[in-house]
């Protein structure tokens, strides 16, 4: 509910694990030729996040995103085995692919490219799997980007979000590509516009570079009850932010 109040914040921090070739990597603005490898074993990274107090992890199968079908299921299963709730995107473009990852223990499947292509596809998934289906909306200058951010459509990000909201999608993950991996701070204006536009939970993604960015998002969560949380990636890996500190910020006043 846009404009709603929270007595205490319940904003979720989603540390990110991007998988390419079975390894934990980060890409700058989604470019496959701008890759930094941070760990050989994504499951070990998940264990560190869990030890720091995180319950959720946001996972992207980059090979799946570029290739069109999941390609790193064994690495995803290792993350699930670490005891994390996994939110997974990347190449989930068929009903069978979605069912397979959910059966493997993934808590929430994120539909990206296919959501922009077929409203009916998402409607059917929501009918079958309910709130375990989320939609990832990646925007470049306000327009939806698909296929691992390789192609940009003419569809507006807010327009797509409102369509998904109307068919019962419970969670929208909104990424501003221009800020992703750049450590320049989130696009707060775009995130607020999205929060105003839908009733669905919104997870902010892209650009977090310092604890103050998360503080500002936590303040935004006071005004918008549908701000579910924030995905943090490169800033964690480069030591610019501390996960236990971010979790404390997200819990709100008096650490609640």
Residues taking part in catalysis:
18, 138
Tokens of 156: 């507006």
Tokens 């390419």 found at: 20
28 phi and psi, to 5 degrees? -90, 120
Apex CA 227: angle with CA 50 and CA 59, to 5°?
40
């Amino acid at each position: 509910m846009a404009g709603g109040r929270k007595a205490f914040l319940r904003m979720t921090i989603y540390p990110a694990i991007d998988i390419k070739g079975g390894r934990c990597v980060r890409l700058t603005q989604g470019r496959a030729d701008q890759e930094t490898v941070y760990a050989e074993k994504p499951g070990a990274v998940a264990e560190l996040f869990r030890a720091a107090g995180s319950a959720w992890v946001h996972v992207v199968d980059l090979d799946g995103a570029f290739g069109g079908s999941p390609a790193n299921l064994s690495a995803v299963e290792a993350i699930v085995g670490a005891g994390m709730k996994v939110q997974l995107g990347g190449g989930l473009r068929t009903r069978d692919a979605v069912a397979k990852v959910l059966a493997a223990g993934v808590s929430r499947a994120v539909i990206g490219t296919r959501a922009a292509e077929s409203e009916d596809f998402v409607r059917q998934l929501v009918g079958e799997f309910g709130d375990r289906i989320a939609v990832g909306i990646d925007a470049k200058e306000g327009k939806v980007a698909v296929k691992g951010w390789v192609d940009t459509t003419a569809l507006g990000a807010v327009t797509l979000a409102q369509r998904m909201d109307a068919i019962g999608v419970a969670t929208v993950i909104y990424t501003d590509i221009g800020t992703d991996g750049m450590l320049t701070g989130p696009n707060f204006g775009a995130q607020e516009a999205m929060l105003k536009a839908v009733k669905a939970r919104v997870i902010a993604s892209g650009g977090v570079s310092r604890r103050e960015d998360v503080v500002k998002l936590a303040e935004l969560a006071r005004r918008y009850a549908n701000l579910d949380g924030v995905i943090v990636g490169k800033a964690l890996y480069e030591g610019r932010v501390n996960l236990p500190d971010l979790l404390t910020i997200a819990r709100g006043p008096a650490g609640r």
